[in-house]
Amino acid sequence: MYRYANPNPINKVTDDCLVRTLSIIMDIPWEKAYMDLCNRGLMIYDMPNQDATLSLYLREKGYTRHIIPNECSVCYTVADFAREYPEGKYVVLTSGHAIPVIDGDYYDATDSGRLIPQYYWKKER
């Protein structure tokens, strides 16, 4: 189910979806998520919003990456993913967007449920 969330300190909706996602999924302030990504990016000489930076950060936090099967690449949505995974913490990536899914709910500043997920990161227990 969609839940409105925008942890951006000035409620701005900008190209910060990855920072918003990590803020929500890690339960940390937006500023900390931003700096955590910047620091990881600096460590590997890459930008904070790149896959390599995100991968480094999420692996450190106990997440593993999984690919979405390509059985119906236009009919399986973020909303479907959330319904299929009613327990756990996930970072879901679409083409150009990141969405946190926690215990079957997906959080965003706008309803991103119709977007098509490509892969996800799952928090291992």
Q: What is the pLDDT of residues 7-22, one digit of tens each?
A: 999 999 889 999 999 9
Q: What Å distances lie between residue 31 and 16, 21, 39, CA to CA?
A: 11, 12, 12
**What secondary structure letter does DSSP report for 47?**
-
Q: What percent of the chain has pLDDT over 90?
A: 91
CA-to-CA distance for 34 and 116, rounded, in angstroms?
25
Instruction: Note the residue count of the chain.
Output: 125
Q: What percent of the chain has pLDDT over 70?
A: 99
Name the one residue in this structure whose structure tokens are 């993913």.
81
Q: What's residue 113's pLDDT?
A: 97
Q: Which two tokens stand for residue 74?
A: 């236009």
Q: What's residue 67's pLDDT?
A: 94
Q: What's residue 38's pLDDT?
A: 98
CA-to-CA distance for 95 and 117, rounded, in angstroms?
7
Q: What is the pTM of this model?
A: 0.94
Q: What's residue 72's pLDDT?
A: 74
pLDDT tens digits, one per residue of 59-116: 999 999 999 987 776 789 999 999 999 999 999 999 999 999 999 999 999 999 999 9
Cβ atoms within 10 Å, residue 47: 12
Three-state SS for 82? helix
b/e per residue 106-122 (b: at least 16 CB within 10 A)? bbbbeebbebbbeebbb
Q: What's residue 73's pLDDT?
A: 66
CA-to-CA distance for 71 and 36, rounded, in angstroms?
35
Mean pLDDT in residue range 32-59: 97
